[in-house]
Amino acid sequence: MALILIVDDSPTELHVMQKALEKHGFRTAAAADGAEGVRLAREMSPDLIFMDIVMPGMNGYQATRALANDPRTRTDQARVARSAGRQGAGDPVGVTGARPTHDRAVRAT
């Protein structure tokens, strides 16, 4: 089954997304910030990355650009920029390779 990396600074969001995805048979990994997400993406080569936008330190835009510009991760994963109820929610503007996501899309998978 596909490996999905979830990058979010909210422990609640991480838990909810992991449980929902694992319930449908997906393997998951989690990172609490953008820098850890970039490191895990390079190490694990996940099939899909859900990337929060608003995070301390390296934010989701910066992390997604770092992955898109790195030859090791440039084409490895689909990257989905997401922001749950925060400024810019679901707005992937300026994030290479990102697509907005909604809970319905996760449940439909």
With a cut of 50, say whether residue 95 has pLDDT above it.
Answer: no
Q: Cα(81)–Cα(1) distance, rounded to whole angstroms?
A: 22
- Report CA 71 to chain centroid distance, whole Å: 18
For residue 108, what are the β-bridge partners?
none
With a cut of 60, say whether residue 89 has pLDDT above it.
Answer: no
Least confident of 3-7, 20-24, 54-58, 93-97: 93-97
Q: What is the pTM of this model?
A: 0.75
Q: Residue 76: which pLDDT band, with cuts at 50, 70 and 90?
A: low
* CA angle at 1 for the pair 26 and 9, rounded to the nearest 5°: 35
pLDDT digits (tens, 9 = 90+) for 46-56: 999 999 999 99
pLDDT digits (tens, 9 = 90+) for 11-41: 999 999 999 999 999 999 999 999 999 999 9
In the prediction, which pLDDT does 73 show? 84
pLDDT digits (tens, 9 = 90+) for 33-45: 999 999 999 999 9
- What average pLDDT does this structure show over 79-103? 49
